Structure 1
Amino acid sequence: MMENTNRMPTRKVVRGRPYSIAEFARKYRLDDEEAKRLFYKFGPSATELDLLMAAKRKPPYQSSSIEL
């Protein structure tokens, strides 16, 4: 049998809205290198990246607008 070698690479389905690398890095206070590594490994899906960071027990950074 002949195999089809002209297949297109499988694209990962993005669940939820996509993050930009800058937005993802800012939300979780990651340096650019780590944010890019995770972004390219797991894709731009906000749902997937939020689940990953929850599994790593790294909550999103929430700036407080309340001044004491």
Structure 2
Amino acid sequence: MESVRTFERRRRVRGAPYSLEQFQQKYALQSGEAEDLYARFGPSSIELDLLMAAKRRKPCFSSLSADFELR
């Protein structure tokens, strides 16, 4: 049995919001795990990054190197 919970976020979003796809790619998560965490903790990049640090999950290398300029 799967329950559907709807709720309103009571806190402001801290930091730039992630899209579900950005969050999933950054931490190389499977879609089910990413969707669950995103639904429970919201799109806040600060809160999701803190959560993943607490779980000792580091961002994947490709997301870290995406901002570097290729020569």
The answer to whether the superposition gives a TM-score over 0.5 is yes
Alignment of 1:3-42 (within 5 A): 9=8, 11-42=10-41
Report runs of 4+ in structure 1 exceeding 2 Å deviation. Answer: 9-12
TM-score in terms of structure 2 length: 0.72
User: Taking structure 1 as reference, are residues 54 and 10 closer, same or farther at Cα in structure 2, changes over 3 Å only?
Assistant: closer
Superposed displacement of residue 10, structure 1: 5.4
The unaligned stretches of length 5 or more in structure 2 are 1-7, 67-71
Percent of matched pairs sharing the same residue: 54
* Structure 2 partner of 1:55: 54
TM-score of the pair, normalised by structure 1: 0.75
Q: Does the CA contact (< 8 Å) of 1:12 and 1:43 recur in 2? A: no
| Larger helix proportion of the pair | 2
| Structure of larger gyration radius | 1
> SS at 1:25's partner residue?
helix
Q: Relative to 1, partners in 2 of residues 1:55 and 1:33: Cα closer, same or farther, differing over 3 Å?
A: same
From the superposition, tell whether residues 10 and 34 of structure 1 become closer, same or farther in structure 2 (CA, over 3 Å). closer
